[in-house]
Amino acid sequence: MRQPDEVTTFPHWSPAFLAGARLEEVRTEYEVLQLLRRCASHFGFGHFLVARLPVGDRRQFSERLVISSWPTELVRGYDDLDIYHESRLATEVAQTKRPFLGDGSLLAPKDPGPAADAAAALAERHELAVSLAFLLHTTAGEPFAMVFSGSEPPRAGDELAQLYFAAVQLFACLEQTFVRNPVVKDKLSGREIECLRWAAAGKSSDEIAIILGISAYTVSSYFKSAAKKLGAVNRMQAIASAMRMKLI
C-alpha cells in the first residue's frame, strides 16, 4: 500500500494545445495573457478575464480585474454601472465548484431592473452572448473567477474537462506572478505613478498633461514604461496592477 507521503504530481503536464509553452517558466502577466489568448482561441471564445471576487466590499470592477482581453470601452462601461459586487458572476459563481454557464446576464444582478438591462445590453454589444466561468482559489484561499466568453455555446464532455484543467494550470501560472510582481514597486518612477493615479481617476492623456505640466506625448511615454515594468499590455491592465499593489 502506498505510504501517505508518496504523492504523485504532474508539474510539467499540460493540455496538448499548450504543448511547448513551458508553463513552469512563466514569469509575467503578459506571458499568462498570451497563453490565455491561445486557450480562448482553441476553444472558440472571443474574450476572457480573471478577476478577484468581491468579498464584503463594493470596489470597482477594474480594481478587481487582474487580466483580460476585454477592450477598454467594455471595462469602463461595466465599471460605470457599479454592479460587479451584486452580479451573478460575483454571487452565483462563488457558490459552486462546477463550471458555470451563463448568457449576457452573467454580468448583471439576478433581479431584473434598469441595471440588469444595461449590463445585458453591454454584453450584447461586445458579443458576450455566452460565458463559461470557473471558480478558482489561490493557495491562500482567495477566490477568483476565470471567465471565457463568446457568441457560441461552449463545448462539452472531454473538451470541457480539458478547458477546466487548462484554466487551473494557467491560474497557477498567474498566481506565481503575484509573488514576483511586488518587486516592481521600487522601479516605478514618481511620474509613472502620478500618471497611473490620474488615469485611474478617469483623466485622459491630454488632461493629465495639463495637470502635470508636461506634453501628452510624455504622458504616453510614462504609460508605456509603467506598463512594461508591470508586465501589462495596455494602460487599463497597468492601472489594475498598480491598484493591486496599492501604488495608487
Q: Is 48 left (phi over 0), alpha (psi -120 to 50) or beta?
A: beta
What does DSSP assign to residue 92? T
Looking at residues 236-248, what average pLDDT do you find?
79
Proportion of the chain above pLDDT 70, given as a percent = 85
Looking at residues 211-219, what average pLDDT do you find?
84
The residue with cell 502506498 is 2
Select from 181, 196, 212 the last residue of a domain. Answer: 181
Q: Strand, helix or coil at 131?
A: strand
Same domain, 138 and 194: no
Whether pLDDT at 178 is above 90? no
The answer to whether 145 and 134 are in contact (CB under 8 A) is yes
Residue 233 has a pLDDT of 81
Same domain, 62 and 158: yes
Whether pLDDT at 2 is above 70? no
Query: Domain tally for the chain?
Result: 2
Same domain, 105 and 212: no
Could you list the residue range(s) of the whole structural domain that residue 125 is in? 23-181
Whether pLDDT at 185 is above 70? no
